[in-house]
Amino acid sequence: MGGIGDTKGGLHHVVTVRITQQLGERLAFGEFIDQAATRDGSRRLEALLDDVGAELLSRQAREVAVKVRDQVVLERRVRQVEHVLHDVVAERVLHKSQRVVRNLLDQLQLASPKKLAI
């Protein structure tokens, strides 16, 4: 009977060792899968961040281009307005000078008859 008990104990030991090995293998495989999933998730996250970064840079580039275009248009309009104002001011100065000359001539003509009458 001692031999059968030993056999049962030995069998029990072998089964326990084998179950422990299988459990260890499964856990190791599970960790491998988890690590692979983590690496894959990390890669996906990096790819997503790269896509988001590229989109932000693209938008920023478009915004800068729009701002530059708007600035160029604004500067062109300002130059056009300055040109028109320069012409308007020059015309006003010329007309004012002509009015001053006419007023002086009118005053001289009015003053001349009075002198002759005295």
Query: When comparing pLDDT for 68 and 35, which is higher?
Result: 68
Extract the tokens encoding 86: 């320069």
State the pLDDT at residue 116: 47
List C-alpha distances in Å: 3 to 8, 10, 83: 9, 10, 118
Query: When comparing pLDDT for 40 and 69, which is higher?
Result: 69
Query: When comparing pLDDT for 64 and 20, which is higher?
Result: 64
Look up the pTM and report it: 0.40
The rounded Cα 15 to chain-centroid distance in angstroms is: 65
Between CA 28 and CA 36 the distance in angstroms is: 12
Look-up of token digits 């001539």: 105
Please write the tens of the pLDDT for every residue from 64-113.
Answer: 999 999 999 999 999 999 988 888 888 888 888 888 889 888 888 887 76
Extract the tokens encoding 32: 């491998």
